[in-house]
Structure 1
Amino acid sequence: MPSTQYWQSLEGQALLNKIVRKRIPEWTSGLKHAQAEVVGKVLDGEKILWVSATGEGKSAAFQIPVIIHEEIGRNAELCPGFKAKEKPVGIVVTPTKGLAANIVTELSKLSVSAFAYTHNNVTQFHKDDIDIVQAISECRYRIVCVDPEHLKTEEWRRIASSSIFRSNILFACSEEAHLIDEWGNPDFRPDFRYIGTYFSSRLPSNISIFALSATVEPGESTSIICQHLSFRAANFHLIRGSNERPNTQFIVENLTHGIGGEIFPQLLPYLASGRKTIIHCQTLETVYRVYIYLISLIDDINYESLHLIRVYHSLCSDKYNTQTLNMLENNPNCQVVIATVAFANGINVRTLLDSISLGTSSSFNLTWQEKGRVGRDPSSLARGVLLVSPATLKKAEKYIEVFL
């Protein structure tokens, strides 16, 4: 019988990489060191807060464990004595429906079935007379993405009480964990503060609970997140890597035209390069003013030219936003997406090369997340551009002077 820390042993790590290379042959080198370390801890049922750069492959923490259980379930001789789950399942708590949909898409590329438990998807299942609660309770999906607000509903109490679900669940993950602190306030989305309560009170005590982020600062922010996830010094692992992006050039410029205006000529030199670009705006109104400005510069408006520029925000349909991500990946005519904060956290589009922020976001962490949408292919050269008011730049310079 393997020990309780088998997957962290040399033998366990070797088997882990052997299975990964078999099931995901395009990962020719297997898992990165940090990925293997974290996945081993997840498989051993431990608690983890993993902080590392965007694009470092943190998603492996929830992608790989179900694949390992599936493979050993089919080939028990790979690990004699290890009892693989018959229907392995994991929960991933996501802040936005866009991220949930993106995770489902990425998992499908690995032949892992997943479901995004969003309002639109649940409503559609009801219309089709499909009992999605029963489907999840019976572990028909390997990964279920759900937002914090749905966790407190009666449906999710029923799911967590299902004997089939409880006997097969491997882990519960809080994706983009920095938002537990940033968004989890009474005036915005207080249920972020209760993710850990749901995990500890509703789910089996022997599963792995872990949280992922690229932007959890040491100190108070880390302490708040750990407190809300019930992570104590002796019972969890803090794995903190660098979130440096060596393949991304950072550029800060003074805005030459106000964000409240109707023209944005500073964007044009960047867009003239033809590189795939995400433009981050702080309000929905700004998104559409930028969109109208850029569309007005196209000489011949036709069906194909409308593919050149897209918008992305939470009021767009799930179908439209998913189509936008697919076009960024696969349509060479789609160059520019203008987005709200809905595109800032976790979205993975490897073709994006330039991130331009019009104005400053609500926190530096969010700005860093915005820049993390580009250069996700480490062999690419990306640009992260901040266009800020002269007053904001002056304020930042004065702040830095204090420490010089």
Structure 2
Amino acid sequence: MPLARARAALKQVFGYDDFRPGQDEVIGAVLAGEDVLAVMPTGSGKSMCYQLPAIVDGGLTVVVSPLIALMRDQVQQMAHVGVAAATLNSGNGDEANRETLKRIRAGEVSLLFVSPERLAGDGLVSLLASSAVKRLAIDEAHCVSQWGHDFRPEYRQLARLRSALGNVQVVALTATADAATRSDIADQLFASPPRIVVHSFDRPNLHLRFEAKDKPRSQIADFLDRHRGSNGIIYAGSRDKTEKLADWLTGRGVRALAYHAGLDPATRAARQDVFLQEDGIVIVATIAFGMGINKPDVRFVCHADLPSGVEAYYQEIGRAGRDGLPAETLTLYGIEDFAFRRRQIDDKAIGEAQRKLEHRRLSAMIDLAEAVTCRRQALLAYFGETSGPCGACDLCQGGAELVDASVDAQKVLSAVVRSGQRYGAGHLVDILRGEASETVRRQGHDKLKTFGVGAARGAHEWRTVIRQLFAAGALAEASQEHGGFCLTESGEAILFGRETIALRKIKAEPVRRSRSAAREARTDGLDENAASLFEALRALRREIARDEGVAAYMVFPDRTLIEMAETRPATLAEMREVQGVGERKLSLYGEAFLEKIAEVG
């Protein structure tokens, strides 16, 4: 049976006893020769769905991937487990690419990683057409769809490649694709309807948290204090912000590196290599960083600004906890994020149908940020899944509730109208609280009927009400150039009592996790001796990775080191039973890790 052979290869080559959920169905269909479109969450092991079939049934599998770094990373991974893989890309150099072409002609490559841009030339396509390609695997397949959140026109060329290769088997994989996107992918990439496998989007090991911005740097600092020594990613909304935030964190003793598209390629590559190869690195990045980053032991992802949509959010937080161990996410958001994202959409040169779609996606992201019930439940519902409360997200742990806020809303809306529908939150808060600032006095707004009507509430509380009214569509931007707020039709209906509105009850402080809890999450509840051994094994892994010039997790992932620390294998036979120790890695590293275990005791 093909699947039985695949399971045996999984153990021998990769050191794993069984498949992750969903992998067996996809791998079984691929080995049966079916065309497959697989939608599986980040961290579920999508790459195994084309790697293992290539190992089991031979032939050449061409893997289309969008990033050079990802291709290089996967080739190194395959080399570490003894699989013949290669990549053709502009970063290799002419001699390396010539050697790869020679190996392809000789039939010595099982997995060839290429970018869609590289396939645009007829020369490579002709070579592949004469090289008995067995299947075409397309990673990040959502990039082919105009309805996806990361459309890339060059992916549209892949149908031509499929045809040129004789309509070979196609396996397309992505972490995020709604029904419209799946349909578009199927139309673009397959000659006939594929088998579509949609695996659960649930990532129960990820702790989800959102916080409204209130001294954002302090919020980020508190979050990072709970993750000292861990690998993590902070996403920021602009290049300048990544630089400034990385410098500020460095000043606080954090090993932080900025990453964005404005850096020269050599600097970007060097910083990505540091992140992949070392422990305790925090990358502060724009969304230019992350697609295809295959680092399993990222323990946290923080968004310093609101993501553009739920699909982007889901893919970005999915870069944490790919090893299945607990990981934490934090998303900060504010009224300025809502306005900025809406302006981004309105300023795009896109069709009206696409603009409406992107506004709907942004509204869903805002709804997730302002949710009052289980965060994970709301996230899964967006992708069409039903679930009960998770019991682990910030809302399940800390709680939130809706209250009738019509009176407070009317106070805010009245202040907006009476002040001329052109002022921002700070000025409105001063009016409501009766703070006679210079601007308030100069404009005569200390004489308004609404001046001081909200003196009993603090500035933070009023800012929260204003933010929620903007999110709910009762307020809109008065001017893209100057900002400020004006009422919408919904806002007018609330102001004049034709409608009521419920908003989240305001809480003084968010629930914080302790530093010790974060450390326990990283070591999966190890006792003191095992945790000490785990850190020693980590240090050994770091030395080996540095000597070999590879990412630390390519030696062994954290999950494997944790099992070693728990079970303390004393022989190579016992080491072989540890998850993630395949035959090649056992021969390469087994003795060194056994010696370290015996040394630490």
Once residues 111 and 360 of structure 1 are traced to their aligned partners in structure 2, the CA distance between those partners, rounded to angstroms, is 42
What is aligned with 2:389? none
What is aligned with 2:118? 150
Deviations along 1:307-360, one digit per CA (max 9) or x if unpaired, are: x22344554437515522433xxx44x331122324332322122111011223
Once residues 342 and 246 of structure 1 are traced to their aligned partners in structure 2, the CA distance between those partners, rounded to angstroms, is 26
Contact between 2:300 and 2:328, CA under 8 Å: does it hold in 1?
yes
Alpha carbon RMSD of aligned pairs, Å?
2.9
Contact between 1:42 and 1:171, CA under 8 Å: does it hold in 2?
no
Once residues 118 and 98 of structure 2 are traced to their aligned partners in structure 1, the CA distance between those partners, rounded to angstroms, is 18
Once residues 312 and 276 of structure 2 are traced to their aligned partners in structure 1, the CA distance between those partners, rounded to angstroms, is 24
Does residue 62 (structure 1) correspond to residue 50 (structure 2)? The answer is yes
Once residues 117 and 337 of structure 1 are traced to their aligned partners in structure 2, the CA distance between those partners, rounded to angstroms, is 27
Does residue 190 (structure 1) correspond to residue 153 (structure 2)? The answer is yes
What is aligned with 2:548? none
What is aligned with 2:108? 140
- Cα deviation, residue 367, structure 1: 1.4
What is aligned with 2:165? 203
Q: Indicate how the Cα distance of structure 1 residues 377 and 184 shifts in structure 2: closer, same or farther if over 3 A, else same.
A: closer
Q: Which of the residues 51, 57, 67 maps onto 2:39?
A: 51
**1:267 is paired with a residue of what secondary structure?**
helix
Contact between 2:35 and 2:195, CA under 8 Å: does it hold in 1?
yes
Deviations along 1:13-69, one digit per CA (max 9) or x if unpaired, are: 223322332333x20x23246222222222232100111121111111111012113
**1:346 is paired with a residue of what secondary structure?**
coil
Paired residue type of 1:387:
L
Deviations along 1:103-161, one digit per CA (max 9) or x if unpaired, are: 2233233222322322111xx134x6935434334333321211111111133223223
What is aligned with 2:257? 310
**1:46 is paired with a residue of what secondary structure?**
coil
What is aligned with 1:109? 80
Does residue 224 (structure 1) correspond to residue 171 (structure 2)? The answer is no
In terms of Rg, which structure is larger?
2
Does residue 248 (structure 1) correspond to residue 206 (structure 2)? The answer is yes
**2:51 is paired with a residue of what secondary structure?**
helix
Greater displacement, 37-46 / 90-99: 37-46
- Cα deviation, residue 229, structure 1: 0.7
Does residue 352 (structure 1) correspond to residue 298 (structure 2)? The answer is yes
Contact between 1:91 and 1:146, CA under 8 Å: does it hold in 2?
yes
Deviations along 1:204-241, one digit per CA (max 9) or x if unpaired, are: 33x320111111112x11111111113543xx100011
Q: TM-score w.r.t. structure 1 length? A: 0.76
Paired residue type of 1:204:
G
What are the ranges of 5 or more consecutive residues in structure 2 without an aligned counterpart? 339-365, 367-467, 475-500, 503-601
**1:120 is paired with a residue of what secondary structure?**
coil
Contact between 1:173 and 1:210, CA under 8 Å: does it hold in 2?
yes
Greater displacement, 32-41 / 238-247: 32-41
Instruction: Please give the residue correspondences for 1:166-181 in structure 2 after superposition, counting only pairs within 5 Å.
Output: 166=132, 169-181=133-145
Does residue 270 (structure 1) correspond to residue 233 (structure 2)? The answer is no
Contact between 2:3 and 2:31, CA under 8 Å: does it hold in 1?
no
Paired residue type of 2:54:
V
Q: Indicate how the Cα distance of structure 1 residues 325 and 44 shifts in structure 2: closer, same or farther if over 3 A, else same.
A: farther
Paired residue type of 1:211:
A
What is aligned with 1:17? 7
Paired residue type of 2:327:
A
**2:257 is paired with a residue of what secondary structure?**
strand
Q: Indicate how the Cα distance of structure 1 residues 179 and 396 shifts in structure 2: closer, same or farther if over 3 A, else same.
A: farther
Q: TM-score w.r.t. structure 2 length? A: 0.52
Q: Indicate how the Cα distance of structure 1 residues 157 and 286 shifts in structure 2: closer, same or farther if over 3 A, else same.
A: same
Once residues 38 and 151 of structure 2 are traced to their aligned partners in structure 1, the CA distance between those partners, rounded to angstroms, is 25
Instruction: Please give the residue correspondences for 1:30-41 in structure 2 after superposition, counting only pairs within 5 Å.
Output: 30-32=18-20, 34-41=22-29
**1:195 is paired with a residue of what secondary structure?**
helix
Q: Indicate how the Cα distance of structure 1 residues 53 and 398 shifts in structure 2: closer, same or farther if over 3 A, else same.
A: farther
- Cα deviation, residue 248, structure 1: 0.8
Does residue 390 (structure 1) correspond to residue 335 (structure 2)? The answer is yes
Once residues 77 and 270 of structure 2 are traced to their aligned partners in structure 1, the CA distance between those partners, rounded to angstroms, is 17
What is aligned with 1:77? none
Once residues 175 and 310 of structure 1 are traced to their aligned partners in structure 2, the CA distance between those partners, rounded to angstroms, is 27
- Cα deviation, residue 188, structure 1: 7.5
**2:128 is paired with a residue of what secondary structure?**
helix
What is aligned with 2:248? 293
**1:370 is paired with a residue of what secondary structure?**
helix
What is aligned with 1:100? 71
Contact between 1:282 and 1:358, CA under 8 Å: does it hold in 2?
yes
Contact between 1:66 and 1:89, CA under 8 Å: does it hold in 2?
yes
Instruction: Please give the residue correspondences for 1:321-340 in structure 2 after superposition, counting only pairs within 5 Å.
Output: 321=271, 323-327=273-277, 331-332=278-279, 334-340=280-286
